[in-house]
Amino acid sequence: MRRRGPFHPRVHWAAPPSLSFRLHRLLLLHTVNPPRIREPIGREAFGPPPASSDWLPTHWRNGRGGRPRARLCSGWTTVEEARRSPTLGGWLGRQRWLLRMGAGRLGAPMERHGRASATSASSAGEQAAGGPEGRRREPLRRRASSASVPSVGASAESARRDRLGSYSGPTAVTRQRVESLRKKRPLFPWFGLDIGGTLVKLVYFEPKDITAEEEEEEVESLKSIRKYLTSNVAYGSTGIRDVHLELKDLTLCGRKGNLHFIRFPTHDMPAFIQMGRDKNFSSLHTVFCATGGGAYKFEEDFLTIGDLQLCKLDELDCLIKGILYIDSVGFNGRSQCYYFENPADSEKCQKLPFDLKNPYPLLLVNIGSGVSILAVYSKDNYKRVTGTSLGGGTFFGLCCLLTGCTTFEEALEMASRGDSTKVDKLVRDIYGGDYERFGLPGWAVASSFGNMMSKEKREAVSKEDLARATLITITNNIGSIARMCALNENINQVVFVGNFLRINTIAMRLLAYALDYWSKGQLKALFSEHEGYFGAVGALLELLKIP
Amino acid sequence: MAECGASGSGSSGDSLDKSITLPPDEIFRNLENAKRFAIDIGGSLTKLAYYSTVQHKVAKVRSFDHAGKDTERDHEPPYEISVQEEITARLHFIKFENTYIEACLDFIKDHLVNTETKVIQATGGGAYKFKDLIEEKLQLKVDKEDVMTCLIKGCNFVLKNIPHEAFVYQKDADPEFRFQTNHPHIFPYLLVNIGSGVSIVKVETEDRFEWVGGSSIGGGTFWGLGALLTKTKKFDELLHLASRGQHSNVDMLVRDVYGGAHQTLGLSGNLIASSFGKSATADQEFSKEDMAKSLLHMISNDIGQLACLHARLHSLDRVYFGGFFIRGHPVTMRTITYSINFFSKGEVQALFLRHEGYLGAIGAFLKGAEQDNPNQYSWGENYAGSSGLMSTSPELGPAQRARSGTFDLLEMDRLERPLVNLPLLLDPPSYVPDTVDLTDDALARKYWLTCFEEALDGVVKRAVASQPDSVDAAERAEKFRQKYWNKLQTLRQQPFAYGTLTVRSLLDTREHCLNEFNFPDPYSKVKQRENGVALRCFPGVVRSLDALGWEERQLALVKGLLAGNVFDWGARAVSDVLESDPHFGFEEAKRKLQERPWLVDSYSKWLQRLKGPPHKCALIFADNSGIDIILGVFPFVRELLLRGTEVILACNSGPALNDVTHSESLIVAERIAGMDPVVHSALREERLLLVQTGSSSPCLDLSRLDKGLAALVRERGADLVVIEGMGRAVHTNYHAALRCESLKLAVVKNAWLAERLGGRLFSVIFKYEVPAE
């Protein structure tokens, strides 16, 4: 069973009781590189709003940090991410928990150092403006201390009091924030971020119940973010908002609004961070709840370049939370979950809604770049059963090598026109028909790419055939491993999620058919409309502390 | 070994001689006596199986008719020896590349005399393709057999009959092969056959097995996809590419996803998050080596994972891997082993088989030979006629490897009687006969290989001398020398070639080679002479023992056993003495012995035990002929009989060095009975029973003993086992745990070994053990 950390993740922000203020400084001076870290904070709250509301495109257009982009798989958006390799075991939960502790230790000193260095370091130039930083730190601090940290050391306490002393009193701008805090609601904007191996998934809650007064008080940058995200469907050449997935009239933390789903390639992450820096994202003091391997990989960049501290969250926790939540709110009045009837028959095949009223136990197969398989027994009782490195990344990677395609969509499109039986060796190719001794039907694939052992056949296949065979190989394999896990765990409903399934009806129908066929009707393959976004949703829920 | 002719295979028998440098009669041996053929034609290799009868010369002993003769005459041998022809059954398996198939069929046609054979069993993917060719060439009807059925039949057969068949593979370990002792119960197990696809079969009994799953991602995927990605056409070349590649250039690893954080998270950054994940995001060229490696990892991991999932579902911990993807390739054995260890967290072991390539052919043969009931018999690997497991080092180029494995042979002899476990073994599955694993112990290996090399001249001399009337003895002996020398050299390079290398396997290999060249019993004359001498001394020895007080007698009996055991022609320290001093006798031997306390000395405990109630039945494994059995063992037996203990005296079925054989022991017992009323009445009343062990080895494997012996041990309720001699009690069984009392005694007649054990030459081992309650 996975061990769940006893602390709320936000404990990252808390100062550990054991380290003195001075020690923190020492630590910091030696470990994190310096000055700029916190300076921009103050200025932005009072300073001029960004010159243009079109801040995202500017940077995304520039690609990776403004360098000309050699090749961007723009639109390669399918594969979620390899959260853990197939190979990571359940002990990970505990490791991660340990890390949270570690992150807390690092997090706190940075804040202090930022303050300490504010006077000495003006190297950040125009952005350096020694504003009343403590005020904006405070909300975070308070949340931190309210999170179940057993005790906070005396030095940390006094440090906080120092800051309170420098607090310059409420202004119009901060009133809203104070109110938000009073309602124990985090500040806008509300984001949930899931940084995978291939794709970054971003969910954004757009409040629709903003009062006139509130709007007036809304920080310009916040407003511009809202306007920009909601009025565009594409951001730069690679960022995409999945408009069809938008969830309308959602109530979250007492606020009504719409939930937006945005994705962009992980290799554009540096540009995203740079943009955050340029636009003084940090001044909003929002908490960036992020999950996925990238939450770790880019943590340092977020901090040093964007001056943003990530709240790193366990990806499996987020995934489960996200799925359960999204399933509970439905899909704008429709069912979130669905299945295929007659998946093998193109004529009769039907996508039908499925009511997941008894979700447990559930086998959850998350197909991103790699694949994770979880057995879920209740809301907070689940375990990672296994995983495989043969996932969406493998499909797309092999397709790129075999066909020269550049986007996931292109690979799928080719696959839809190909014939895998030219590439694969079927049972009937070996036995002339069914292999009755073992009850194997003639149409079953005996050897994926098996025909490619022969030179003549290699010369006779098209790129489309190869793309199709790659898709069939990877999909069948995932189905097969999922089926074995379902048997071992004695679970009969299997939910497949992850961006590998986006616009991938071939794979979904194949999974549905294979599961049904090999289990003799015992297993049911289920799918979910928001395929790859559950981790990001989970991160958002974590921000809002929605169980 | 063999070279492929540039012209390929022609259609006449001559072409074989051109294309195969190894004399074909050394490949297709005994073809003139062959019957019942089976063939397994795979994608690249053909495996041929046949059954033959082999004529052996065997030394038979026969008692003279002593009726009417009252007096013993000096210098008259106690029995006569005659050399007779004996026919034994042998299974031959030959593996060669498909290119040779036509030439081989021609050769077989030309040499096949037996006309009874009408049918050939065929299996494997190529059976269909070559059906017409076989029928035309051999004039035999091709009977097609199901591939998986054959595979499983073959697998059961090797697991039951070949010791050290299965091994685990550990890269970088020394040795890289770790052989498993044969489990008495081979079922149930999981067989994962990785051909072009993967079949996972659960085998529950000899005839019951079930296809539990499979995968289309197998050897064909590696080959086919590999060929597309790297433009490399051959499987072996792909493996070679893979062994040089860096998969991290192509695969998305955990560290690529997590950045440096994997370290603080305690993750191994090298784990693969997404196979080929990097080839999706980067616009770059990838090297063939890297792609091949990535592909190999992808496929091996996937198969390992599925195998683990199936093993868990069926609660099995033994998983055997076979198929052309594995077939002795260290690269794939390594990645599969890694994957299994990873996914099962060490609960499941990936096991490989030494004769994996032969399973289909063995199975097909067995299918065709069901009327001969080959499964009723026990079979033994003939070390002389079998090529060992080749080291197919990944560093070796494909060309080199292809050559070394061109013709591979396996021969198995049918044993006269079925072999089973000694019922008194404490825990049969964990019983390991051999004391020292020479594959493991480089120092010991070096010593013993040198020791056997140095002893070779003496053995050759002895072999020639044993057949003074034979004109070709010298020539055969020379061939024997060459063969055994070559085996020793192979073992120097590849200690794992025949399973775990031990002193026992070195001795057994020598016996097999001697038999191969018709030296069935080089020591028969020596044994005859020594038995004669010892028999004459027997009454005197018994008289002097009887004159002693009880306690003195017990020690004298034990000393007699030990002194007798000095007479071992297998030990150079002794054979030198015996050859130079023909008058070296029992008393001289006693003086050679170490004084008490011995190197291992539990005599006091034994004496204490003797003061208690008598044992019900003692099982004694005897060692040498002559003084050892007659003046050492028999007086000891006599004392046990007098105490009221029944005795089962077990001697070798066939000759090995100067060890006493069962048939010799019968004559010796008969002669002693003529002199001693105690032995006489015990024999008559069946309180003394003489049985054969089923072995022809100077050592003793308690897990392969004659079925009759095992039955008798059970029936008589044996509660004491006495194992005598260096080969049986030190090289083997020194650590063997039994369910009853045991006495292991030996004189260490090898200075090196004595030193290793912390003693000196002629140190004494007297190990009396009582099992824990």
Distances (CA, A) of B184 to B161, B317, B350, B681, B702: 11, 15, 19, 38, 12
Q: What share of chain A is helix, strand, coil (3-state, %, to 5)?
A: 50, 15, 35
* Topology classification of domain B523-769: Rossmann fold (3.40.50)
Out of A267, A296, A481, name the one closest to residue B258 (CB).
Answer: A296
Tokens of B340: 């299994």
CA of B283: which chain A residue's CA is closest?
A71
**DSSP three-state, residue A538:** helix
Residue B387 scores a pLDDT above 90: no
Report the alpha-carbon distance of residue B275 to residue B256 in Å, rounded: 12
Q: Are B91 and B51 in contact (CB under 8 A)?
A: yes
Out of B265, B274, B281, name the one closest to residue A96 (CB).
Answer: B265
* Residue numbers in B near A517 (CB within 8 A): none
Least confident of A299-303, B395-399, B448-452: B395-399
Which amino acid is located at B240 in the chain? H
Residue B504 scores a pLDDT above 90: yes
pLDDT digits (tens, 9 = 90+) for B526-536: 899 899 989 99
* Angle subtended at Cα A64 by Cα A62 and Cα A65, rounded to the nearest 5 degrees: 75
Q: Which residues in B36-50 are b (16+ Cβ under 10 Å) and which e?
A: bbbbbbbbebbbbbb
Class (C level, CATH) for A183-331+538-544: alpha beta
pLDDT on residue B544: 94
As for the ipTM of the complex, it is: 0.83
Share of chain B above pLDDT 90, in %: 60
Question: According to DSSP H, which parts of B517-653 are helical?
Answer: 524-546, 550-564, 572-580, 586-592, 603-610, 627, 634-643
Which amino acid is located at B594 in the chain? Q
**DSSP three-state, residue B273:** strand
Closest chain A C-alpha to B394 CA, distance in angstroms: 22
pLDDT on residue B110: 82
Residue A17: asked if its preceding bond is cis (omega within 30°), the reply is: no
Report the alpha-carbon distance of residue A441 to residue A457 in Å, rounded: 23
Specify which residues B380 forms β-bridges with: B413
Closest chain B C-alpha to A287 CA, distance in angstroms: 20
- Owner of token pair 């065997």: B58
Tokens of B335: 């990645």
Mutate to test the interface with B, among A81, A84, A87, A456 (most CBs of B within 10 A): A87
DSSP-derived secondary structure letter, B44: S
To which H or E segment does residue B716 belong? helix B707-716
Tell me whether residues A484 and B306 touch, CB distance under 8 A. Answer: yes
Tell me whether residues B216 and A476 touch, CB distance under 8 A. Answer: yes
Report the alpha-carbon distance of residue B284 to residue A317 in Å, rounded: 36
Q: Are A170 and A53 in contact (CB under 8 A)?
A: no
Q: What is the mean pLDDT of residues B529-546?
A: 93
Closest chain B C-alpha to A197 CA, distance in angstroms: 5
Report the alpha-carbon distance of residue A373 to residue A366 in Å, rounded: 6
- Owner of token pair 């061990």: A3
pLDDT on residue B719: 97
Closest alpha carbon to B706 in B664, B651, B755: B651
To which H or E segment does residue A447 belong? strand A445-447
pLDDT on residue B266: 66
pLDDT digits (tens, 9 = 90+) for B210-238: 999 999 999 999 999 999 999 999 998 99
Least confident of A370-374, B268-272, B743-747: B268-272
Tell me whether residues B224 and A451 touch, CB distance under 8 A. Answer: yes
A-to-B residue pairs, Cβ atoms closer than 8 angstroms:
253
Q: Are B608 and B545 in contact (CB under 8 A)?
A: no
Q: CB contact, 8 Å: B230 with chain A? A: no
Class (C level, CATH) for B434-517: mainly alpha
- Would you give the distance in Å from CA A379 to the centre of its chain? 20
pLDDT on residue A407: 93
Q: CB contact, 8 Å: A117 with chain B? A: no
**DSSP three-state, residue A380:** coil
Q: What is the mean pLDDT of residues B730-735?
A: 96
Tell me whether residues A87 and B259 touch, CB distance under 8 A. Answer: no
* Residue numbers in B near A293 (CB within 8 A): 254, 257-259, 261, 273
Q: CB contact, 8 Å: A448 with chain B? A: yes
Least confident of A411-415, B254-258, B333-337: B254-258
Report the alpha-carbon distance of residue A516 to residue A504 in Å, rounded: 19
Report the alpha-carbon distance of residue A278 to residue A221 in Å, rounded: 11
Distances (CA, A) of B437 to B177, B179, B180, B434, B451: 12, 10, 12, 7, 16
Task: Tell me the residues of chain A between 504 and 523 that have a Cβ less than 8 Å away from chain B.
Answer: none
pLDDT on residue B73: 52
Closest chain A C-alpha to B243 CA, distance in angstroms: 20
Tokens of B555: 């020690």
* Residue numbers in A near B227 (CB within 8 A): 452-453, 458
Q: Are B46 and B357 in contact (CB under 8 A)?
A: no
* Residue numbers in A near B234 (CB within 8 A): none
Q: Are B763 and B598 in contact (CB under 8 A)?
A: yes
Tell me whether residues A488 and B312 touch, CB distance under 8 A. Answer: yes
The phi-psi region of residue A501 (left if phi > 0; otherwise alpha if psi is between -120 and 50; otherwise beta) is alpha
pLDDT digits (tens, 9 = 90+) for B618-667: 999 999 999 999 999 999 999 999 999 999 999 999 999 999 999 999 99
Q: CB contact, 8 Å: B301 with chain A? A: yes
Q: CB contact, 8 Å: A370 with chain B? A: yes
Q: CB contact, 8 Å: B287 with chain A? A: no
Out of B220, B250, B262, name the one closest to residue A453 (CB).
Answer: B220
Domain ranges of chain A: 183-331+538-544, 337-419+462-528, 424-460
* Residue numbers in A near B199 (CB within 8 A): 438
To which H or E segment does residue A192 belong? strand A190-195
Mean pLDDT of chain A: 74
Report the alpha-carbon distance of residue B415 to residue B422 in Å, rounded: 17
Contacts of A137 by beta carbon, 8 Å cutoff, 6+ apart = A111, A115, A163, A285
Out of A368, A390, A397, name the one closest to residue B302 (CB).
Answer: A390
Distances (CA, A) of B466 to B58, B416, B473: 12, 25, 9
CATH node for A337-419+462-528: 3.30.420.40
Closest chain B C-alpha to A129 CA, distance in angstroms: 32
Instruction: Please identify every stretch of chain A with a pLDDT value under 70, giving residue numbers as ranges.
Output: 1-183, 546-547
Tokens of B22: 């190894």
For chain A, first and last CA: distance in Å?
Answer: 19
Mean pLDDT of chain B: 87
Q: Are B738 and B428 in contact (CB under 8 A)?
A: no
Closest alpha carbon to A368 in A404, A397, A327: A397
User: What would you measure as the largest C-alpha separation in chain A, in angstroms?
Assistant: 86
Q: Give the 3-state secondary structure of B723-772.
A: EECHHHHCCECCCCCECCEEEEEEEECCHHHHHHCCCCCCEEEEEEECCC
DSSP-derived secondary structure letter, B605: H
Contacts of B162 by beta carbon, 8 Å cutoff, 6+ apart = B182, B354, B355, B379, B381, B412, B499
* Topology classification of domain B166-250+286-353: Nucleotidyltransferase; domain 5 (3.30.420)
User: What would you measure as the largest C-alpha separation in chain B, in angstroms?
Assistant: 103
Burial class (CB in 10 A: 0-12, 13-18, 19+), B6: exposed
Report the alpha-carbon distance of residue B533 to residue B626 in Å, rounded: 7
Out of B146, B267, B278, name the one closest to residue A397 (CB).
Answer: B278
Q: Are B384 and B60 in contact (CB under 8 A)?
A: no
Q: What is the mean pLDDT of residues B260-285?
A: 80
DSSP-derived secondary structure letter, B546: H
pLDDT on residue B555: 96
Residue A170: asked if its preceding bond is cis (omega within 30°), the reply is: no
Which amino acid is located at B293 in the chain? K
Q: CB contact, 8 Å: A32 with chain B? A: no
* Residue numbers in B near A70 (CB within 8 A): 283
Domain ranges of chain B: 24-62+77-150+361-415, 166-250+286-353, 434-517, 523-769
Q: CB contact, 8 Å: A361 with chain B? A: no
Q: Are B91 and B372 in contact (CB under 8 A)?
A: no
Mutate to test the interface with A, among B153, B252, B315, B341 (most CBs of A within 10 A): B252
Which amino acid is located at B765 in the chain? I
Tokens of B236: 């072996």
Q: CB contact, 8 Å: A477 with chain B? A: yes
pLDDT on residue B264: 67
Tokens of A464: 């489309």
Report the alpha-carbon distance of residue A527 to residue A540 in Å, rounded: 22
* Residue numbers in A near B149 (CB within 8 A): 437
Q: Among all residues of A, which ones are annotated catalytic?
A: 315
Least confident of A466-470, B182-186, B623-627, B720-724: B182-186
Q: What is the mean pLDDT of residues B396-401?
A: 38
Distances (CA, A) of A507 to A90, A354, A416, B182: 28, 19, 10, 46
Neighbouring C-alpha atoms within 13 Å toward the C-beta of B620: 31
Is B24-62+77-150+361-415's fold the same as B523-769's?
Answer: no
CATH node for B24-62+77-150+361-415: 3.30.420
Tell me whether residues A86 and B272 touch, CB distance under 8 A. Answer: yes
pLDDT band at B103 (very low <50, low <70, confident <90, very high): confident
Angle between helices B524-546 and B442-466 (to 10 degrees): 100
Report the alpha-carbon distance of residue A270 to residue A281 in Å, rounded: 14
* Residue numbers in A near B253 (CB within 8 A): 85
Which amino acid is located at A263 in the chain? R
Task: Tell me the residues of chain B between 32 and 51 that have a Cβ less than 8 Å away from chain A.
Answer: none
Closest alpha carbon to B169 in B161, B160, B159, B179: B179
- Could you write out the DSSP letters of every residue in B147-213? HHHHHHHHHHHHHHHSTT-EEEE-TTSSSSEEEPPPPS---SEEEEEESSSEEEEEE-SSS-EEEEE
Report the alpha-carbon distance of residue B324 to residue B235 in Å, rounded: 10
The phi-psi region of residue B112 (left if phi > 0; otherwise alpha if psi is between -120 and 50; otherwise beta) is beta
Share of chain B above pLDDT 70, in %: 92
